[in-house]
Structure 1
Amino acid sequence: MWKIVIIDDDRNVLKGMRRVIPWDELGAEWVGEAMDGEEGLRLIRQTQPDLVITDIYMPVMNGLEMIEHLRSDDFLGKIVILSGYTDFEYARQAMRLNVVDYLTKPVSVATLKTVLHKAVTLIREEHVKHMVQVELSERLTRYQPFIEREWVKSVVSGTLDRPYREDDELPPAYGFWKKARHLVIGIEIARDARVNAFSIADMNLIRFAVRNVVREIASEIFSTYAYTELHGTRSAVLIHPGPSLAEAELRMNLRQFGSEVIESVSRYLKVNLRMGWGRTTQHWGQISDSTEEAFRAIELRESPALKGFELYEITGEICSPETHPLPRPVKFYQELTSAIKNGHAGLAYRLIEDQFQSLEKSRKLMPSEVQLIAGELWGVITYSLYEVGIVVNEMLSDRLPQMEIVRLTRLDSLVEWLQSTVSEICRSREWKGSNKHRHAVEFMLQYIHENYAEDVTIGELADKVSISRNYLSEIFRNIAGDTFNNYLTRVRMEKAKELLLEKNMLVYEVADRVGYKNVPYFSNLFKKHVGVNPTDLTKGSIR
């Protein structure tokens, strides 16, 4: 309901106005009246009406003086003047104060209704416009962390568009990059039999659990860092070694970080990681060079950085044909999988053609190299789509891609096979669907893992992504492979397990840390999901 205030020193006018205004028709309500400008000013400041109907000539403070004060207060409501004076100077001052209309007494009921309808229409239009602006502002605020993460991912993977690679384009939060050094640590989840058997929900949970471990250890060793998910089972940590940090000390920090992450993930998650790091770069525009080096170090496994750990550092030239037939595989894989995940088949075709045309001009590939590229691409595509709920092997059930890869011996046959595979994926009924929905679920997963200790509900997230609650529940289950509530509980239980194994907190403290005030309820849930009571972990009865 729109709120209306009437101000006039004539009681008969006040009474008559309240009687003739079509309140229901306007969708409005009376919220107060006053008989002089000073009293009216107090009333308006107290009730904040949408529309003020006021006389000009009144005792104590006249209407124009009152309006002057309201404009100084940045009052945004509409004002209609109803005056017994037709003085031009009054009318001119009223227009300068941006009133909706200036009516002279006596005024007909029809004219009054017309003016009030005009005022309410303006109020309604401005209200809608304001709500849209507020919603856009709230969405930008909500999605700002998500946008920044995507920007960091683009820098790390090398997919950031060239116009945005200048110092002037750095977001304010990353202004310190201009004078910093940069180094990327690559992380890869080993694709063993156990990982291959994970459900979609399990895989998402493992990836986020790895992220939590990495971030916790990184915050203890590095003063500043950024963690970003890449394609498939790969992620990266970007650090900024200080100018006074000696190379030997940097390598010691990297070995400590890598060994602690690998050991913690193995102990808590029963998952094996491979890690490697690239060289330090002086300009943030070269960060992706360090990324390519980090993952090439992992693939080559020629320079172990620490005995007993799959932790490697780069040696030699990163882009030499001897290390990999593709000049920049991380960038290419990231761009290709992004295009496929968003259903952009045309963009995927162009990326494939551009990549392999340039490769064909540079050198002739051996059959083993063709198969190497095809095998890597198949693995990357499979795991990248798996993380958003697409099981490629089920989608292409009538094909045996592994057998097809063995028969690929020439570059042109590789390109044809790859484009055909991408086309089939993008055409598949299982792949049809709204990109908005997939982005919404990705946002929800991220939100759960960052706010699991809060009272997170599907209704709250439905408001954030502008999708109805019931529909969002269905979308989440289809894409994430689990119900929202069950997934949230599993995230909480995994974090609780991690905290209990550290043996630094009591059970009731852990329960509170992961979002449960009721300790018995927490204990029952924990036993259901983990298989043992939380007290068993604090006593060290299981490994």
Structure 2
Amino acid sequence: MMFRAIVVDDEPRVRRGLLALIPKLDPEWSVVGEAKNGLEAIDLVKREMPDLVITDIRMPHMNGLDLLIALKEYPVHVVILSGYGFFEYAQTAVKFGAFDYLLKPVKPPEIASLLQRLKEHKQVRDLPAGPAVPALNYSKWWKDWLTGSEEAESYVSRLRELLPKNAERFQMMAVEIDRFDELSLEDQWGDKQLVSFAVRNVIQDVLAAEREAPFVHLFTSGPQLYYVNAGGGCALDAAKRVAEEVRKWVKISVSVGLSETSAKFEALPLLYRHAGEALRNKWIHGGGIVSRFEDVLSGEREASGYPTHLDEEICRAVRAGDRDKALKGVETFLDEIKRNNVSFRLFQRFGLQLLSSVNRIVYENRVHDLVAKEASQPQDLFQRDFGADEFMAYMGDWIGATISALDWNRQQRHNRTIEKAIEFIHKNYAKDISLEDVALHAKMSGSYFSSYFKQETGDNFVEYLTRLRMDKAKSLMMNSELRLYEISQMVGYQDVKYFSRLFKRHAGVTPQEYRQFFYRKEDS
């Protein structure tokens, strides 16, 4: 087995020495790269995936301690090089997770001993690490791969080795700490990291007891913690115990989303997304729930007797911004359910399905935060019994808030579009540009852009462009060294006579008269 190292030092002599010395001391080690500072080293680590980084403490751009902290997300051991004057910094580095430190000038026996200890540690990496030897952190690799980073494809096989070799089924579990931001402001906690640490410790104790469904923690991202079940046992029971035990021991509510299972390790990115989708059910049902992706799928399938045609009509009206038509559709929706004499349980299910359809529009347009500010949360209604009138009132508020948010979002897009078009005109007014050129830049048809531009600016395209060119021409006329034909070409007109006619129509005087007036004004 070969081991890989990179050397980071701003002194070329030190880099060359270690580059030659390491493979001589131990043929199982090779130096696969060198860097002058921490920033170069990070790129090398991503590209070469070494087992060891030997780095100096004092370097430009990014020093050794900052590099050590940055590499905590990567599965690599770091050894610090330090002069005697920086011995305390080296000791601090060990506290921050460095494997060890070496004092300059480095002696070959010390390096040989270090390389041997690292090999031994990596060969028994599945055993619990002692306090002096920090465990490797693969969370960055897991997160990159599961979230679709292209760089991650190069180390997928390494990640597979971290899970049990005999695993036959895989399942993702996403845990989210409810009210995460609020908890960090409470006196009891006061810190997001402390909240996350307390919850993860409880979850670790609960999952450690799961023999039939062994879970592995992959990474933490803000309030969310991700685990993979690599044993095929009943993850649903374990997820329920997680929610119960966290609530019991630290008085914090967590929600859990479970994906389906798959026999393929390569399916984990898909399972990761499905666990996240299941987790989003908490938004409707409230925090503290355990939701399975299978339940999400079944909820999206057309229910027996569900008025799908009315659901679609209501959603079309919401997208079109027609609040009255959407609410009329909800009334008809409720009347049809009543006529069919459905049970209360099915009425709740249909109501939730309609809300989910409208809510899908909210998420598609990324206006959830805007809607949430204007309307009460769905769990306020669906966690208790409610009647048809109450549901109608709630949907009125929700649809109204959704349409308002969509209008605002649409206006923001329009504002960005007109700004983009005007910016293009101002950059290219000196060229022979047409309405079609600007429409193409704004990604609109020519006819639609013409109406849109007139509506937003009050001028048609030709009027706006002509006025801009005339204003630029007036400014250029202040320069007495510029001839009239030069000014004409500089503002987009090759024919100086045509330019003169347009200028007189716009300014009321010819270009020559305007210039004479300007200079008389300056003289006076």
TM-score (norm: length of structure 1): 0.32
> Which protein, 1 or 2, shows the higher relative CO under an 8 Å CA cutoff with sep ≥ 6?
1
